[in-house]
Amino acid sequence: MTKRYFGGKGQPGVYHTIINQIPPHKTYIEAFLGGGSIMKYKKPAERSIGVDLHLPALQQFEMAHLPSIAALELHHANALEFLKYGNMVAKWGKETVVYLDPPYPLDTRTSNARYANELTDQQHLELLSIAKSLNCHVLISTYPNQMYQHQLASWRLVKHKSVASNGEVREENLYCNFAEPVYLHDDRYIGENNDKRMDITRRIERNKRKILDWPEVERVRFLNELKSEMTEFENEYLGNFTRNAR
C-alpha cells in the first residue's frame, strides 16, 4: 500500500490547483519529493527529476511509478545542495520547472506530525535564497507564515485549502516566480473546483463528438479555419504538443 506522507499534495483539489499553475516545460524537478503527488498526477516532462533525503520515499516512488514516467531520475540528496549544484552546472532556464514542497515551518503546524527530515528556520531561509537565484520557473508550497511572505513578497501568490493530518482544514500558499500562465503543461484539470472541471470536460467532449461526426473534408476545413484565427503562440504550442504526442 502506498504510504501517505505528511504534507503530501495528493488530495483532490490540492494537486489540481498546483498543476493548473505549471507552464509548459521540458524538464521537471520536484525537490522534497515525499509521495511525489504532483509528479505522479501531471503529464510527464521529457525529463523528470525527483529529489529527497529520505531513501524509503525514493524507493517507494520508483517501484510505483518508474514504468509510467518516462526519463525518470531519482536522486538521494539534500534538496538545497542539489538545487545549488544543479543550477550552477545545468544552468536551468525557462524550459525547466522546479516545484518545492519543503517541510512546513514548525511554527505553522497544529499537529504533532513530523517529517523524516525537518528544516530549521535558517535552512528555510537558505532554501528561499536559492529559489530566488534560480533562472527557471519555480513554485513553492507552504502554510501561511511571515518568513515566506517577507522573502517572497514579489512572487505571485495562489491560495488554496487542504486537510491537515489531524483533519483540520488549512489554508495553503503556493508561491510562483512567474505570471499566471496562459498555456499549461497539463490542461486536464482546468477549472477552479470539481464542478467547473466536470463542466469544462463535458463541454469539450460534447463539441468534440459533434465535430467528429462531420465528414472528414468539413473537419479539415474547420481545422484550417480555426488555425488561421489562432495566435502564433497557440499554433506553436499545438505543434509542439502534436510532435511530443507522437
Q: Render each residue's pLDDT in the chain as its tens digit; 246 residues.
A: 445 566 678 788 899 999 999 999 999 999 999 999 999 999 999 999 999 999 999 999 999 998 889 899 999 999 999 999 988 878 899 999 999 999 999 888 777 767 778 899 999 999 999 999 999 999 999 999 999 999 999 999 999 998 876 778 889 999 999 999 989 999 999 998 889 999 999 999 999 999 999 999 999 999 999 999 999 888 887 776 656 555
Question: Nearest to residue 49, comparing CAs of 26, 65, 72, 32?
Answer: 72
pLDDT of residue 89: 78
pLDDT of residue 5: 61
pLDDT of residue 243: 60
pLDDT of residue 27: 96
Q: Which residues pair with 153 in a beta bridge?
A: none
Secondary structure class of 160 (helix, strand, coil): strand
Question: Nearest to residue 201, comparing CAs of 211, 212, 192, 190?
Answer: 190
pTM for this model (two decimals): 0.87
CB neighbourhood size of 51 (10 A): 24
DSSP state of 106: G
pLDDT of residue 6: 61
Q: How many residues are recorded in the chain?
A: 246
